[in-house]
Chains A and B, each alone.
Chain A
């Protein structure tokens, strides 16, 4: 099973350039997330999508936009990259059940450097 697939795995951007990080899951999960991880900061939620057609801001949404293209795909766009956006980006997905909270499954991450 592929699980959660992110592309690209590595990227170097110049300040002001734009790019889109792609994420797809094949587990039929309804909720999808984008996190960034910086040294000493843990993972911080950028945006999430509780279900197809909906998106909401997380803790650190500034400078980012997202699109939930369909149930499988959730993309993250940087319109004008800044050095402060140098980070490791993780996409994750979960299934929503009626009661029990479920684990999140993560992609392998995208290492982004903005110079």
Chain B
């Protein structure tokens, strides 16, 4: 069983749409959670950390559900520039940093 599971997509949405991704993790001892963004043929870059109480950064909202072991990312008012692959990352024991295989988002004009 994979440590982190994500729907690979692709999610094809029009500009202005709201889209949500979920990610499940298997280790209940996981301590920290992140969403990374990866553009085609580029390195992953941090989008946002995910806190227990949930957090928002502009159009992006991240939620954590420890009881069900999943995290989510909500993108409101999608822009063309949001087209990318979104990687869910789960961390425990500091150096155990597990990546999901990513969810591809295509935002269409």
Measured CB to CB, the closest approach of chain A to B62, in angstroms, equals 14
Given contacts A42-B100, A101-B31, A101-B32, contact A106 B44 (CB under 8 A): yes
CB < 8 Å: which of A35, A42, A44, A50 contacts B95?
A: A50
- Closest A residue to B49 by CB, please name it: A103
> At the interface, yes or no: B43 with Cβ under 8 Å from chain A?
yes
| CA A45 to CA B88, docked complex, whole Å | 15
Given contacts A103-B46, A106-B45, contact A45 B97 (CB under 8 A): yes
| CA A43 to CA B102, docked complex, whole Å | 9
Interface size class of A (residues with CB under 8 A): 20 to 34
Considering only residues 33-50 of chain A, those with a C-beta below 8 Å from chain B are 33, 35, 40-45, 48, 50
Please report the total number of B residues contacting A with Cβ < 8 Å.
Answer: 22
Considering only residues 29-69 of chain B, those with a C-beta below 8 Å from chain A are 31-32, 34, 41-46, 49
Residues of B within 8 A of A56 (CB): 95
Measured CB to CB, the closest approach of chain A to B72, in angstroms, equals 18
CB < 8 Å: which of B41, B44, B45, B46 contacts A43?
A: B44
CB < 8 Å: which of B8, B91, B95 contacts A48?
A: B95
B residues near A, CB below 8 A?
A: 4, 8, 31-32, 34, 41-46, 49, 87, 91, 94-95, 97-102
